[in-house]
Every structure is written in structure tokens, then in C-alpha cells.
Amino acid sequence: MKVYQSNEIKNISLLGSSGAGKTTLVEAMLYESGIIKRRGTIGAQNTVSDYFPVEKDYGYSVFSTIIQTEWLDKKLNFIDCPGSDDFIGGVVTSLNVTDTALILLNTQYGVEVGTNNHFRYTEKFKKPVIFITNQLDHEKADFDKTLDELKENFGSKVVQIQYPITVGPQFNAVIDVLKMKMYKWKPEGGVPEVLEIPDSEIQKAQDLHNTLVEAAAEHDEVLMEKFFDQGSLTEEELRIGIRKGMLSREMFPVFCVSAGKDMCVRRLMEFVGNVSPSVNVTQKPLTKEGKEIAPDPSAPASIYVFKTSIEPHIGEVSYFKVMSGKVKEGDDLVNINRGTKERLSQIFSVAGQIRTKVEELVAGDLGATVKLKDTRTGNTLNVKGCEYDFSEIKYPDPKYRRAIKAVSESDEEKLSEVLTRMHEEDPTWIIEQSKELKQTILYGQGEFHLRTLKWRVEHNDKIPIEYKEPRIPYRETITKNARADYRHKKQSGGSGQFGEVHMIIEPYYDGMPAPEMFRFNGQEFKISNRDTQTIDLDWGGKLVLINSIVGGSIDARFVPAILKGIMDRIEQGPLTGSYARDVRVIVYDGKMHPVDSNEISFRLAGRNAFAQAFKEAGPKLLEPIYDVVVQAPSDRLGDVMSDLQGRRAIIMGMESEKGYEKLSAKVPLKELGSYSTTLSSLTGGRASFGMKFASYELVPMDIQDKLLKEYEATKKEED
């Protein structure tokens, strides 16, 4: 393979909802560019893109796949991304290392939730967008409706390059208003006839051509002046104007294809090769220090590993982008993140599972290598002396969680290793060993996302696993003041143990004034604040300890032991054994013995005094509340709202977004366990949502009573 320079390389994300036809389009592009001799199909399970066993079993993409083609002396690196929102991590990864996005639309359905979701990410990463209307040969295809929805959602920036003469099973021709030609295909697709535009279409084509010329001229002063002088632009001038409009995201070209019939695929690749920006003119990546790094082949060599996968018959494959300089087979690099040396024993240009060895890759190109010793996804590798360090990719917050365990306890250690490896392959699978919940919690983007992990662990690694509803990380707190004292005394010959602690506890909030006096049963307790310690608890909230001991009733050296005792109990509240928080403790009196008092005595006395006081202080459960944002089609809004209200949600706001409704709500985590599955069912897969932790709030009394009974029953079973 030829070594392509930075100005000859185009990196493109292939996006779109599930069923838009991305994998089929990839097959057609690979076939047209000669990478494969025969197009595969999803039904036959022989496509270049979806080559993992789980993808063949499910029938659609699970992982993003790097696809390289050569066209018109350009190297086009496509990344075919999964369409399901459960696998949004592949989209985020792809947009971090590519420069243009092709968003496919299934013209049976028009603009879908997935279309909007993917477009929002292109907006976030400031990437140029080309819309591809696909499946124009389907009997339910509706190009005009799809085009109207594009303009309704994305405005006047949507500009046609092509339109079909007819749609449905008879689709076989498009009018190209950039070339001002008609492209017509035989039933087998492939190379088209290039014809003059029929008289019946010439007026419509001319009007759209003029609109395209005006849109292209807007983005370049020289072109604008020429347009005003001559009233037209050459094809090359149009390309320049369109490219500038795409780079500024002021222009979103619209193309037509039938990927299944291989119609208009060659023209699409020609447009991408000629018009989409090369890596040398797009936004420059930033290091962690905010320094721009140009894709300069003459600069020091630096690569960024953006994806790792374990692939059949090969093992670990590391996919990278050359950020600067050039890399060659046999190069020695330094992992800036781990301080280790790595050798690129082989480097490849890849098209799915087809890997072609190459001698060299230059700045901006995408490639792969195998068997790196100590490199992980998100690591930067540099030539010696280069200190570039690129940030790890940030992924969306998880939306689904399950407790995971091996069916056989003997497999637990092996499962832990497998889960760590799986996180490397897909960073949106997050694993937490929860000391608090005494469970291994697996987080992901949805029920299907976690089901995919289960399939892979059981089929590839032969470890039977099970999912369970995870416990909820409740918190316990108090709602009123309480007082308690406790004497720990133990005598068994020789030195004994003695410690007595008197304390008051009260609810705490930030900015709370220091206490001066308490009254219990008509008795006043004046507080003299000798010392205050504020502990920020690892699980949220605070514990405040005030030393109000006067007269030396307890030596100051025993106060840390009392605090340890309090911490012993605050980690296991009396209601459900959950962490406690937001409590202020005032130790105001006690007793000690000149011989028998020691740290363990006061630790036990402090722990038991705190436990007694906590039970008398109106203990309440707090539950985690999440901010949830749902995007749902307008015709399903009633069902979505009704379901949310059944989950104890508080609707915070609602706004319309061009055919979709955006709902904001606060929802208890306990009610969100199966939400992704239910939402998909309610809306036919047309809705999406995001969730983020907001706060802890009091659990309603009826639910608290139920939880306490469940906890007591569990305790009895364990006993």
C-alpha cells in the first residue's frame, strides 16, 4: 500500500441509528475500492465490519470498526459505529479521532432519536457533517419527508447535493446538482451511466444548483465576489466553498444512496475524497496542557491509542492515531502515561478483520499494532525526548447497573480479570467492587449493553455468570437531637478496661452555627467548644466532632479513640446497615480510670454511646436521586410521563425539540433499575435518556417501613 501524506488522508465517522445501513454501505465501499471481491450481507454473517461472533449472533454492530479504503489517490479511513444508544461509546471514541461525520438516515423512518443523538455529539466535537439518505429502494422510502425533517431539525444549513427521481423498488437514478448530471444504474448497481438531466427535471435541478452555489459562495469572500460578478462558480470553486462551509458547520450536504444495491456509492466516495477536509486542515488536537499539536510529518513521532480489542486468533490489537511525525515497523516508543518502553513490531492499515502490513504511517493516519506489553486505551506513545500527553476520552455517564457474579465461586478471580479486559475494550462498561453494597456492580449504557457483555463472557471465556438487581446505596441520618452515655467496663484479673463517654448528637448542615446549650428532660447542658474536627466522609456528607470535655474527666489523648469508635458505627447505620452522614457529635463528659483506661476502652464506649444516641435521634433513610433527561417522540409523551410518575419522579421541566419532547425529572435510583428497557418498549426504541446523580433525599415513610422490614428479614436469614 502507498504511504499517504497528511493532505491525502480523510478520517470519517460513519454514524446513524440502528438499521440505517452503515454496515451495508461499508461493504459497498470496500467492494468498489477493490478491498473485497464480493459484498457480504448481514443475513449471511459475512460482512467485513460485523465480524465478532456476538455481532453475527445479534445481527447488528456492537463495536466500532476501522475501515480503510483508497479512492482517487486519497486514503479514506472510515470508522463504522454501532447505531444503538447502548453502544454510544463507539461514537464518542470515533469522533475524537476523525474529522468528518457521515450520518446515515433510513428513509423509511427519516430523522430518528439516534440521528439527533449522534448529531449532538458532532456538535460537541465541532465536526463537519454530511447527511446520507439511504435505502431509497425500499417500498416505504420517503425522501421528501426525510429531507423536510432534516431541514426542520437542522435548519437552512441542510443543502442538497442530490435528489432521487423516484424512490421505492424502482429507484435507479439521482440528479446531482453539483455536477449537474443524472446518474443512472442498472439493477446490479456499481458504475453508473452519467447522463444529461432530463427536460422534466432541469428546472428543479437548476433551482437547487443555484441554492448550492449561493450557499457555497457565502463561506469565502473571493467566491462571493465572483458569484456576484458572474452569477456562477466552477465545480472546483463549489468544492472549495462547500468544504469551508462544512468546516464551519454552516453547511450540511445531503447525498442519496442505496447501499444494498450499490447505487451512488462511488459518487459518495468521490465527494468525500474531493470535498471533505483532510487531516492537515481540520482542528488540531490538544495535549492535556492545552497545547495544539499539528499533524506534521516532520515533527517528533507520537501516537494515541484510542481503542483496544481482543480479536479471534490474534489476541490484543491496539488501534492508534498518528498525532505527529511518522511511525515505522520496529520503532521504539515510550508510553508517557506508564513510563514503559514499547516496540511497534508490526503496523497495519485495517479494514475490519482485513489487516494489511505497511512500512510507515504518517501524521493523521489511523493504524493498528499487536502485542504491546503495557499499553492501555487512552495512552500516548512518543519517540524518546517527546513529551506529548493527550487526554483520555470522556464518555457519557452510565444509565444501567446490575450486580454481577460468577455462578461458580471458583470462577470469581478469573471473572475479575475478564471484566478488567472488557473495560479496556469498551470503557463504557464500568466495574466497581462495592465494599458498601458487598457486590460487584457492573455499569453500562443499557440492558442490551450488559446483555452483550454476558454473551461474550459466557461464550468466549466460558464463565457462566448471573445478574442480580443491585442493592441501593442508601444513607442514614438523624432528624433531631439525642443524648446518650455508655460505660465500658471489663475486669478479668490484672489490668482491666474502663471508659465512659457522654455525648449529644444532632443533625448537621453546612454553615450551621456552633452549639451553646442543649436541654434534655428539663436539664441544661452547656457546651464549651474546646476543639472541632470536621470529617468529609468518603460516601458524601460530613461528620463533625466537638470536644466539649471540661475538668479533665477524659484525657485529650483518648479523643481520637472515641472518634474511631464513632466511625465504626457511622459505617453501619442501625436502620439498614447503610453509611450514615451529616451528624454532629458533642462529647461533653465521661470518666476514666488511672490504670484501666486505654484506647480500646474509649473506642468501644464511643461506638456504643453513638449507636444508642443515633437510635433515639429520629433516624431516617436517605435515597440517591438522579437527574434524568428523556428525549421522546411527541406521540409517546403521555406514556413516558405516566411511566415516570409511577416511578416517583418529579417532573422538573419540559420543552419541545422539533418533533421530540425533552423531559427533565428527578427520579429515585431504586425506580430506575429497568428504565432503559421499559422506555425502549414504550416508544418502540425511538427514545433515549441520560441520568446523573443529583442528591440524597429522605425516603417516604411507607417505603422506609418496607425497607426496614426487608432488612430485618435478611438479618434473621443471615443469623
pLDDT average, residue stretch 527-552: 94
pLDDT average, residue stretch 230-248: 91
pTM more than 0.85: yes
pLDDT band at 157 (very low <50, low <70, confident <90, very high): very high
Our measurement of the distance from residue 87's CA atom to the centroid of its chain's CA atoms, rounded to an integer in Å, reads 8
pLDDT at 484 over 60: yes
DSSP state at residue 237: H
Nearest to 110 by CA among 81, 79, 153: 153
Q: Mind listing the domains of the chain with CATH numbers? A: 6-193+249-281 (3.40.50.300), 302-382 (2.40.30.10), 400-471 (3.30.70.870), 476-618 (3.30.230.10), 623-703 (3.30.70.240)
pLDDT average, residue stretch 459-480: 94
pLDDT of the residue at 71 = 94
pLDDT at 314 over 90: no
Q: What is the end-to-end Cα distance of the chain in Å, rounded?
A: 69
Our measurement of the distance from residue 105's CA atom to the centroid of its chain's CA atoms, rounded to an integer in Å, reads 22
Residues in contact with 481: Cβ distance below 8 Å, sequence separation at least 6, in sequence order: 504, 505, 506, 507, 518, 520, 617
pLDDT band at 574 (very low <50, low <70, confident <90, very high): confident
pLDDT of the residue at 65 = 93
Taking residue 648's Cβ as centre, other Cβ atoms within 10 Å add up to 15
Are 631 and 641 in contact, with CB atoms under 8 Å apart? no
Per residue in 26-39, pLDDT tens?
999 999 999 999 99
pLDDT band at 78 (very low <50, low <70, confident <90, very high): very high
**3 state SS for 285-296:** CEECCCCECCCC
Helices (H), 438-558: 447-460
pLDDT average, residue stretch 664-669: 97
pLDDT average, residue stretch 460-472: 94
Distance CA 485, CA 600 (A): 17
- The three three-digit cell numbers of residue 122, written as one number: 458532532
pLDDT band at 524 (very low <50, low <70, confident <90, very high): very high
pLDDT of the residue at 656 = 86
Interior/surface letters 139-161, b for 16+ CB within 10 angstroms, e for the rest: eebbbeebbebbbebbeebbbbb
Distance CA 323, CA 9 (A): 13
Compare 229 and 365 and report the one with higher pLDDT: 365
pLDDT band at 224 (very low <50, low <70, confident <90, very high): confident
Distance CA 262, CA 264 (A): 7
Taking residue 536's Cβ as centre, other Cβ atoms within 10 Å add up to 8
Compare 406 and 657 and report the one with higher pLDDT: 406
Distance CA 455, CA 258 (A): 33
Distance CA 372, CA 81 (A): 25
Distance CA 83, CA 680 (A): 14
Distance CA 45, CA 62 (A): 14
Least confident of 231-235, 319-323, 395-399: 231-235
pLDDT of the residue at 48 = 84
Indicate the average pLDDT of the chain.
93
Distance CA 449, CA 92 (A): 16
pLDDT of the residue at 717 = 67
Taking residue 666's Cβ as centre, other Cβ atoms within 10 Å add up to 16
- The three three-digit cell numbers of residue 489, written as one number: 467496663
pLDDT average, residue stretch 633-644: 92
What percent of the chain is modeled with pLDDT above 90?
81
Are 575 and 621 in contact, with CB atoms under 8 Å apart? yes
pLDDT at 255 over 60: yes
Taking residue 620's Cβ as centre, other Cβ atoms within 10 Å add up to 17
pLDDT of the residue at 139 = 95
As a 3-state breakdown, the chain gives helix, strand, coil percent values, each rounded to 5, of: 30, 30, 35
Residue 460, classed as helix, strand or coil, is helix
Helices (H), 583-660: 599-616, 637-645
pLDDT at 81 over 80: yes
Nearest to 331 by CA among 268, 322, 396, 557: 322
Helices (H), 426-493: 447-460
pLDDT of the residue at 718 = 64
- Residue type present at position 420: T
pLDDT at 475 over 60: yes
Which residues does residue 15 pair with via DSSP β-bridges, in sequence order?
A: 103
Strand positions, DSSP E, 419-492:
430-434, 439-444, 465-468, 475-477, 482-490
pLDDT at 265 over 90: yes
Are 92 and 395 in contact, with CB atoms under 8 Å apart? yes
Tell me the pairing of strands 100-106 and 129-134.
parallel
Query: How many helices (H) and strands (E) are present in the chain, helices listed first?
Result: 16, 38
Interior/surface letters 68-88, b for 16+ CB within 10 angstroms, e for the rest: bbbbeebbbbbbbbbbbbbbb
pLDDT at 659 over 70: no
Distance CA 525, CA 615 (A): 20
Distance CA 239, CA 179 (A): 11
Compare 44 and 308 and report the one with higher pLDDT: 308
pLDDT at 44 over 80: yes
pLDDT average, residue stretch 63-68: 93
pLDDT average, residue stretch 254-280: 96
pLDDT of the residue at 658 = 67
pLDDT of the residue at 652 = 96
What are the φ and ψ backbone dihedral angles of 669, each rounded to 5 degrees? Answer: -55, -35
Per residue in 330-362, pLDDT tens?
999 999 999 999 999 999 999 988 899 999 999
pLDDT at 633 over 90: no
pLDDT band at 719 (very low <50, low <70, confident <90, very high): low
pLDDT at 40 over 60: yes
